[in-house]
Structure 1
Amino acid sequence: MKEEQLVHIRNIVEAALLASGRPMSVEQLRDLFDEGERPARQVMEHVLVMLDKSCEGRGFELRKVASGYRFQVRQAYATWVGRLFEEKPQRYSRALLETLALIAYRQPITRGEIEDIRGVTVSSNIIRTLQEREWVRVVGHKDVPGRPAMYASTRQFLDYFNLASLEELPTLADIRDLDEIGREIEKTMQAEIEFETPTGDHPDGATTSDEPGNENHDPDETLH
């Protein structure tokens, strides 16, 4: 394929990624073209490499996550870009962070199994919050009395934390206990809160914690 054709395809892909509010897969990018002019998958992958190289030395990068490719601000510039937004960073309770970490590392896992590991009841508000953010979902029901729901992480969870797959999570061999898992998730979460893709929605500032007044309220302090 001629160089000018590759540049033309690259420019179309660049424009689409800038306009899109979500990551786009190779197939979704190919579908932008009419059938007669649709680039082969290998050509599209080459164009993405070209785009990646064109971002070198600039304030944004092309990033591959679970759902596809997106442009995003480089972390080195998050402090300055974060000043564009008036919303304060979200606050997450240690209980929510630990619950999210356990789902990510032990999936599929039931609420009861999470409670057994943490030693406290998991508030319904935590599970609801994680589902509303589309970070976890029900993937089935365990074949035991009561058939409790089994939870697993989602592509949106991977996308939010800049992961292409679960294999990119820190290995459990590197994390000694739940506190370390919580801190690792919190560190990643706070870095992502400071900046998002240029076209993405800035997260709201709502505080997330266990349900106030619930007799099973987790006493863990809120992290921020």
Structure 2
Amino acid sequence: MTDVTILPTDDTLRLIEALVFASAEVVPMKDISALLPEGIHADVVVKVLKARYAGRGVEVVEVAGGVAFRTALDLAPRLRKLIAKPRRLTPVAMETLSIIAYHQPVTRAEIEHIRGASLSQQTLDQLLELELITPKGRRDTPGRPTIWGTTAGFLSYFGIKALDELPRRDDLLIDRG
């Protein structure tokens, strides 16, 4: 028996389009699935919507395990003149975030060890405020330090679906040979 793909109706596409448009956050695939009639798969709906918006001023993108509207990449630089730029991360915050992304779950002491320098609370506060990191529990060691990990906001901020889309650490090393 073959698996038949059932295409969504225009009404179903409009419903999911409205959901994604109305949401200030990335819409998880499970939320899309919850609104679909039986037999229609969220990935098929997203594929149709992506095709419908391809080449337009806004596009449907899969990011952080869900779907969102984003400005077309080729138009974004021209819009920066009128739209406020998102808050940029300091070099220390970016370095800290990179360490957390690649070594999570990781404690502050481990971050400091990898960086070779102390880490200010202000840096962690900035990453927390931007919802790029979150506490993931406590390490079962003396002092029970907080362990940190990235969030879905991290994935969204960098426009990736999952952590496995990050470049491999080996690819980031400079070959001096």
Q: Report what 2:126 is aligned to.
A: 129
> CA 1:44/1:6 → structure 2, altered by over 3 Å: closer, same or farther?
farther
Question: Does 1:16 pair with 2:14?
Answer: no
> CA 1:111/1:12 → structure 2, altered by over 3 Å: closer, same or farther?
same
| Per-residue CA distance 1:70-127 (angstroms, 9 max, x = gap) | 1111111111222232x35534322111111000001111111111111111001011
Tell me the secondary structure at the aligned position of residue 17 of structure 1. Answer: helix
Map 1:43-192 to 2 at 5 A. 43-85=41-83, 87-88=84-85, 90-176=87-173
Instruction: Answer yes or no: is the 8 Å Cα contact 2:29–2:65 preserved in 1.
Output: no
Instruction: Specify the code of the residue in structure 1 equivalent to 2:167.
Output: P
Tell me the secondary structure at the aligned position of residue 9 of structure 2. Answer: helix
Instruction: Answer yes or no: is the 8 Å Cα contact 1:136–1:153 preserved in 2.
Output: yes
TM-score (norm 2): 0.85
Instruction: Specify the code of the residue in structure 1 equivalent to 2:89.
Output: Y
Tell me the secondary structure at the aligned position of residue 138 of structure 1. Answer: strand
Q: Report what 1:40 is aligned to.
A: 38
| Per-residue CA distance 1:8-43 (angstroms, 9 max, x = gap) | 1111211222222112123323444xxxxx413644
Distance in 2, matches of 1:2 and 1:163, equals: 28
TM-score (norm 1): 0.69
Distance in 2, matches of 1:69 and 1:95, equals: 30
> CA 1:43/1:2 → structure 2, altered by over 3 Å: closer, same or farther?
closer
Q: Structure 2: state its 5+ residue gaps.
A: none
Higher relative contact order (CA 8 A, sep 6+): 1
Q: Report what 1:29 is aligned to.
A: 32
> CA 1:39/1:94 → structure 2, altered by over 3 Å: closer, same or farther?
same
> CA 1:68/1:2 → structure 2, altered by over 3 Å: closer, same or farther?
closer
Number of corresponding residues:
170
| Per-residue CA distance 1:138-169 (angstroms, 9 max, x = gap) | 11222222111111111111112111110000
> CA 1:88/1:163 → structure 2, altered by over 3 Å: closer, same or farther?
closer
Instruction: Answer yes or no: is the 8 Å Cα contact 1:67–1:159 preserved in 2.
Output: no
4+ residue stretches of structure 1 with deviation over 6 A? none
Q: Which moved more, 1:162-171 or 1:90-99?
A: 90-99
Instruction: Specify the code of the residue in structure 1 equivalent to 2:98.
Output: A
Instruction: Specify the code of the residue in structure 2 equivalent to 1:163.
Output: I
Instruction: Specify the code of the residue in structure 2 equivalent to 1:70.
Output: A
Q: Structure 1: state its 5+ residue gaps.
A: 33-37, 178-224
State, as a whole percentage, how many aligned pairs show the same letter: 34
Q: CA deviation at 1:69?
A: 0.6
